[in-house]
Structure 1
Amino acid sequence: MKKVIIYIIFLAVTACSGQSSPTVKTGTYRAVLKTRGGELPFGLDIQSAPTDAKTYTVFALNGKERLPMDPAIVQGDSLRIPMALFDSELMAKIDGNMLRGVWRRRRAAQQYQTLPFEAQYGVNYRFVPDEKTGSTTTNLTGSWATNFGSKTGKVDTVNAVGVFDQKGSHLTGTFLTPTGDYRYLDGNVVGDSLFLSCFDGSHVYLFKAKHDPATKTLTGGQWAGVSGYDSWVAKLDPNAKLPDAATLTYLKPGAKTLNASFPEPTGKMVSLTDPRFKNKVTIVQILGSWCPNCMDETNFLSPWYKRNKQRGVEILGLAFERSAEMTESGPKIERMKQRFNIDYPVVLAGTNDKAQASKALPDLNAVVAFPTTIVLDKKGQVRHIHTGFSGPGTGKFYDQYVDEFNRLMDKLISEL
Structure 2
Amino acid sequence: MKIFARIYILGILVTFVAGCATNKSTPLSNGVWRGTLATDASIDIPFNFEIYDSLGIKQMAFLNGKERLNINEVTETADSVYIKTALYESEIQAAKVPGGLQGVWIKHLPNKTVKMVFTAEANKDFRFMKDTGNKAVDVAGRWSVEFHRKNAANTYAVGEFEQKGNKIDGSFLTTTGDYRFLSGVVDKNTLMISAFSGANPVLFTGDLTDSTDIINGKMYSGPSSVSNWSARRDEDAMLPDAYKIAGLKAGNDHINFTFNDLEGKPVSLTDDRFKNKVVVVQFLGSWCPNCMDETAFLAPFYDKYKDKGFEVIGLAYERYKETDKAKAAVMNLKNRFKINYPILLTGYTNAPGQVEESIPALDNFSAFPTTIIIDKSGSVYKIHTGFSGPATGKHYTDYIQAFEKEINGLLAQ
Displacement of 1:20 in angstroms is 8.1
Matching residue of 1:304: 301
Matches within 5 A, 1:258-297: 258-297=255-294
Cα distance between partner residues in 1 of 2:195 and 2:133: 20
Matching residue of 2:116: 115
AA paired with 1:42? F
Segment of structure 1 superposing worse, 32-41 or 3-12: 3-12
Segment of structure 1 superposing worse, 95-104 or 223-232: 95-104
Matching residue of 1:32: 36
Q: Does structure 2 conserve the Cα–Cα contact (< 8 Å) formed by 1:318 and 1:348?
A: yes
Cα distance between partner residues in 2 of 1:119 and 1:402: 37
Matches within 5 A, 1:86-125: 86-109=88-111, 111-125=112-126
Matching residue of 2:353: 355
SS in 2 for 1:354: coil
**Which of 155, 158, 162 is residue 159 of structure 2 equivalent to?**
162
Matching residue of 2:3: none
Q: Does structure 1 conserve the Cα–Cα contact (< 8 Å) formed by 2:20 and 2:95?
A: no
Q: Does structure 1 conserve the Cα–Cα contact (< 8 Å) formed by 2:174 and 2:239?
A: yes
Matching residue of 1:184: 181
1:9 and 2:9 correspond: no
Matching residue of 2:52: 47
Displacement of 1:97 in angstroms is 2.3
Displacement of 1:114 in angstroms is 1.2
- Report the count of equivalent residues: 403
**Which of 381, 406, 411 is residue 404 of structure 2 equivalent to?**
406
AA paired with 1:399? T
Matching residue of 2:83: 81
Cα distance between partner residues in 1 of 2:84 and 2:233: 39
Cα distance between partner residues in 2 of 1:115 and 1:163: 29
Cα distance between partner residues in 1 of 2:199 and 2:133: 29
Displacement of 1:3 in angstroms is 4.1
Displacement of 1:218 in angstroms is 4.1
Q: Does structure 2 conserve the Cα–Cα contact (< 8 Å) formed by 1:11 and 1:76?
A: no
Aligned CA distance change for structure 1 residues 158 and 141 (closer, same or farther; 3 Å): farther
Matching residue of 1:314: 311
SS in 1 for 2:248: coil
Displacement of 1:2 in angstroms is 5.0
Matching residue of 1:144: 143
Cα distance between partner residues in 2 of 1:205 and 1:299: 22
Q: Does structure 2 conserve the Cα–Cα contact (< 8 Å) formed by 1:126 and 1:187?
A: yes
SS in 1 for 2:20: helix
Aligned CA distance change for structure 1 residues 287 and 125 (closer, same or farther; 3 Å): same
Aligned CA distance change for structure 1 residues 50 and 240 (closer, same or farther; 3 Å): same
Q: Does structure 1 conserve the Cα–Cα contact (< 8 Å) formed by 2:36 and 2:118?
A: yes
Give the TM-score of the pair, scaled to structure 1: 0.92
Q: Does structure 2 conserve the Cα–Cα contact (< 8 Å) formed by 1:354 and 1:367?
A: no
Segment of structure 1 superposing worse, 56-65 or 5-14: 5-14
Aligned CA distance change for structure 1 residues 167 and 359 (closer, same or farther; 3 Å): same
AA paired with 1:112? T
SS in 1 for 2:276: coil
Aligned CA distance change for structure 1 residues 83 and 191 (closer, same or farther; 3 Å): same
Matches within 5 A, 1:221-260: 221-260=218-257
1:173 and 2:170 correspond: yes
Displacement of 1:352 in angstroms is 1.2
Cα distance between partner residues in 2 of 1:169 and 1:61: 18
SS in 2 for 1:344: coil
Segment of structure 1 superposing worse, 68-77 or 349-358: 68-77
Segment of structure 1 superposing worse, 214-223 or 89-98: 214-223
AA paired with 1:398? Y
Matching residue of 2:387: 389
Per-residue CA deviations over 1:168-217 (Å, capped at 9, x if unaligned) read 10001000001010000000011011100000111311000011227534
Cα distance between partner residues in 2 of 1:214 and 1:68: 36
CA RMSD of aligned residues (A): 2.0
Cα distance between partner residues in 2 of 1:7 and 1:43: 21
Matching residue of 1:200: 197
Could you tell me the percent identity over the aligned residues? 39
Q: Does structure 2 conserve the Cα–Cα contact (< 8 Å) formed by 1:14 and 1:76?
A: no
AA paired with 2:13? Y
Matching residue of 2:4: none
Q: Does structure 2 conserve the Cα–Cα contact (< 8 Å) formed by 1:37 and 1:206?
A: no
Cα distance between partner residues in 2 of 1:7 and 1:39: 16
Aligned CA distance change for structure 1 residues 34 and 157 (closer, same or farther; 3 Å): closer
Per-residue CA deviations over 1:76-130 (Å, capped at 9, x if unaligned) read 5211111112121111111242011111111225x31111111111110111101
SS in 2 for 1:351: coil
SS in 2 for 1:165: strand
Matching residue of 1:368: 366
Per-residue CA deviations over 1:22-61 (Å, capped at 9, x if unaligned) read 5111111011112236221111111134255xxx211000
SS in 1 for 2:296: helix
Cα distance between partner residues in 1 of 2:198 and 2:390: 18
Matching residue of 2:59: 57
**Which of 207, 210, 220 is residue 213 of structure 1 equivalent to?**
210
Cα distance between partner residues in 2 of 1:69 and 1:214: 38
**Which of 71, 75, 100 is residue 69 of structure 1 equivalent to?**
71
Give the TM-score of the pair, scaled to structure 2: 0.93
AA paired with 2:243? A
Per-residue CA deviations over 1:257-287 (Å, capped at 9, x if unaligned) read 1112111222111111111111110000000
Segment of structure 1 superposing worse, 117-126 or 380-389: 117-126
